[in-house]
Amino acid sequence: MTELPIVILMAEDDPDDRLMTQRALWEYRLKNAIRFVEDGKELLEYLRHQGKYADPAIAPRPDLILLDLNMPRMDGREALREIKSDPQLRSIPVVVLTTSQAEEDVLRSYDLGANSYISKPVTFDGLARVIKVLDLYWFQIVRLPNSHRTAAATAPKEPEPQAAPSPTPPSPAATTPPQPPGQSPPSAP
């Protein structure tokens, strides 16, 4: 079975931050697919397959959401509240990745159900390190729910063809393990 790619969905209104995140993934050769939306309203449309995101092939369910708090139309706090109150979406981990360092934002984000809160680094190197650690933690250490992957994982497999039995037993040479140079194989009893 082919492993499905990990999908990260980033809600971020700043095009420079989106580009830096994409570059950071590339820099560390992380094989995660990343999708971008520009505000909380678009994030919910993506997650609920509405509008231009109606086709699930265009908008696969993310394994992790990176959420900025300060966005137009609908901010990250309101989007987080919507996600965590929706039974179909609440199991998706949400990492708040924002420039805000206000204690009020940290507390409120966790109260609304955020799984982590990270103050966004201002340099590319800092962001690249954060992305690498996020990849390590969320996709190599933590076990994520994969209910959206169940269909692929539990699909019945075709039986593998069985090799026809060999008419003659293998010769001793074929079953003798390789020997280090200068040593001869053990003699047969």
pLDDT < 50 stretches in the chain: 1-2, 150-189
Q: What's the pLDDT at 189?
A: 46
Q: What's the pLDDT at 146?
A: 65
Q: What's the pLDDT at 29?
A: 67
Three-state DSSP state, 136: helix
Q: What's the pLDDT at 142?
A: 84
Q: What's the pLDDT at 40?
A: 96
- For the chain, domain boundaries: 7-153
**How far is 32 from 4, CA to CA, in rounded Å?**
10
| pTM value surpassing 0.85 | no
Cβ pair 73, 41 in contact under 8 A: yes
State the number of CA atoms in the 13 A half-sphere of 63 facing the CB.
20
When the candidates are 3.40.50.2300, 1.10.1330.10, 3.40.50.300, 3.40.50.720, the CATH number that belongs to 7-153 is 3.40.50.2300
Cβ pair 30, 89 in contact under 8 A: no
Q: What's the pLDDT at 153?
A: 40
Three-state DSSP state, 132: helix
Q: What is the pLDDT of residues 83-99, one digit of tens each?
A: 999 999 999 999 999 99
Residue 97 structure tokens: 């990745």
